[in-house]
């Protein structure tokens, strides 16, 4: 599901057949993966009650070793999980983070979903394409930077947002973005705005495969935007009620209704079940699944 893959075609379904560059099935199969990697792939599969659950992290590990998803990587996963290569490959092509073309040392993403785009993400992305002289999903000649536009990365209060090797780069401008890629290409040490010094894309993929790198303690607890509400609450002396305050409040409310807390406690199971039933009815109504009236309200998004 890479952005801009074949206009109008089904992400993850058709892009396996019209993939640009090398197809995973055409790569020489004679040199198998090294034994250490193979053993680590097996280790991932063994973490799960059912081995196949390991496939996504296994593919992350393949990327960290191979720089992309390769045919021999797919085959190793398939062999370990006892599934066909076609099945494993079908999974790999479904997810945007798996790349079939080599990725540079730094995967540079620019959010161009609505909020970031409006706030300036579109201009940041255009400027970077110009500056690096590459298009979406392309890599600079020096093999350092792969540029891609991203969907929402859950950091909207820091818009416009960029991600380098999936680390947050918050509150970007066209200027700071060009400076960033120049630094990355020039070997200057760069830190995430909410994380550690940037590692390489392959190193990042290894962490995603479930092999921690010991950098968890780097960076802040939270960025400034995450703390805006908390800081106001502290300044104003606002807080959640204490348990006693909450109880008093409940007693007052009960007194107003002419009942006692004791009554309420006794009747609470019944009352709460009726309430809960009503809740389900409502959730169903909200879910708008006309064709699926049995929806237990899992979704209405």
Partner 1 sequence: MTDVLTPVLTDNWGTERSWTLAAYEDQGGYAGLRKALELAPVDVVEVVKASNLRGRGGAGFPTGMKWGFIPQDNPNPKYLVVNADESEPGTCKDIPLMMASPHTLVEGVIISSYAIRANTAFIYVRGEVLHVVRRLQRAVQEAYLAGHLGKDIHGSGYDLDLIVHVGAGAYICGEETALLDSLEGRRGQPRLRPPFPAVAGLYASPTVINNVESIASVPSILDRGAEWFSAMGTEKSKGFGIFSLSGHVTNPGQFEAPLGITLRKLIELAGGMRDGHELKFWTPGGSSTPILTAEHLDIPLDFEGVASVGSMLGTRALQIFDETTCVVRAVLRWTEFYKHESCGKCTPCREGTWWLAQTLARLEQGNGSEADLDLLLDQCDNILGRSFCALGDGATSPISSSIAHFREEYLAHLTHGGCPFDRTASTIFPKVEAHA
Identify residues 16-45 at the interface with partner 1 (CB under 8 A).
none
Identify residues 262-281 at the interface with partner 1 (CB under 8 A).
268-269, 272, 275-276, 279-280
The whole-angstrom separation of Cα 11 and Cα 13 is 6
Task: For residue 167, give both structure tokens.
Answer: 């680390």
Using the structure block, give the residue that is written with the tokens 């097996």.
42
Strands 145-150 and 138-139: antiparallel
In a 3-state reduction of DSSP, which class is residue 76? helix
The whole-angstrom separation of Cα 167 and Cα 169 is 7
The whole-angstrom separation of Cα 206 and Cα 208 is 5
Identify residues 58-117 at the interface with partner 1 (CB under 8 A).
59-60, 81, 90-91, 94-98, 109, 112-115, 117
Length of the chain counted residue by residue: 301
Identify residues 280-299 at the interface with ligand FMN (CB under 6 A).
298-299
Site membership for ligand FMN, residue 301 (CB under 6 A): yes
Identify residues 204-263 at the interface with ligand FMN (CB under 6 A).
none
> Pick from partner 1, ligand FMN, none: which does 216 bind, CB < 5 to 8 A by kind?
partner 1
CB of 4 to ligand FMN, least distance (A): 21
Cβ closest to ligand FMN, residue 126 vs residue 300: 300
What separation, in Å, do the N-terminal and C-terminal C-alpha atoms of the chain show?
22
Task: For residue 171, give both structure tokens.
Answer: 């509150």
> Pick from partner 1, ligand FMN, none: which does 157 bind, CB < 5 to 8 A by kind?
partner 1
The DSSP call for residue 86 is H
Cβ closest to ligand FMN, residue 1 vs residue 22: 1
CB of 296 to ligand FMN, least distance (A): 10
The whole-angstrom separation of Cα 278 and Cα 272 is 10
Cβ closest to partner 1, residue 71 vs residue 81: 81
Phi first, then psi, for residue 109 (nearest 5°) are -110, 145
Identify residues 113-152 at the interface with ligand FMN (CB under 6 A).
none
Cβ closest to ligand FMN, residue 275 vs residue 299: 299
Q: Which of 231, 255, 267, 274 binds partner 1 (CB under 8 A)?
A: 231
The whole-angstrom separation of Cα 266 and Cα 43 is 52
Q: Which of 8, 21, 35, 258 binds partner 1 (CB under 8 A)?
A: 8
Residues that bind ligand FMN (CB under 6 A): 298-299, 301
């Amino acid at each position: 599901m890479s952005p801009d893959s074949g206009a109008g075609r089904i992400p993850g379904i058709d892009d396996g057949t019209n993939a640009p560059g090398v197809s995973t099935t055409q790569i020489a199969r004679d040199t198998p993966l090294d034994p250490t990697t193979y053993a680590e792939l097996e280790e991932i599969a063994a973490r799960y009650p059912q081995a196949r659950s390991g496939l996504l992290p296994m593919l992350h590990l393949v990327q960290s070793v191979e720089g992309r998803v390769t045919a021999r990587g797919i085959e190793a996963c398939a062999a370990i999980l006892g599934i066909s290569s076609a099945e494993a490959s079908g999974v790999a092509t479904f997810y945007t983070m798996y790349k079939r073309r080599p990725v540079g040392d730094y995967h540079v993403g620019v959010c161009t979903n609505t909020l970031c785009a409006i706030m300036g993400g579109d201009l940041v992305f255009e400027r970077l394409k110009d500056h690096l002289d590459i298009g979406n999903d392309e890599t600079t000649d020096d093999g350092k930077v792969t540029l891609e536009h991203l969907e929402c990365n859950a950091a909207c209060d820091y818009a416009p947002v960029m991600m380098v090797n999936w680390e947050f780069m918050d509150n970007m401008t066209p200027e700071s973005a060009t400076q960033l890629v120049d630094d990355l290409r020039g070997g200057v040490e760069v830190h995430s705005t909410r994380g550690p010094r940037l590692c390489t894309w392959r190193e990042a993929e290894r962490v995603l495969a479930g092999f921690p790198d010991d950098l968890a303690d780097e960076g802040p607890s939270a960025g400034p935007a995450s703390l805006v509400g908390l800081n106001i609450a502290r300044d104003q002396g606002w807080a959640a009620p204490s348990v006693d305050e909450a109880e008093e409040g409940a007693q007052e409310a009960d007194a107003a209704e002419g009942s006692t807390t004791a009554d309420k406690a006794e009747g609470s199971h019944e009352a709460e079940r009726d309430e809960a039933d009503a809740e389900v009815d409502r959730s169903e109504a909200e879910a708008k699944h006309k064709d699926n009236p049995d929806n237990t309200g899992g979704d209405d998004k």
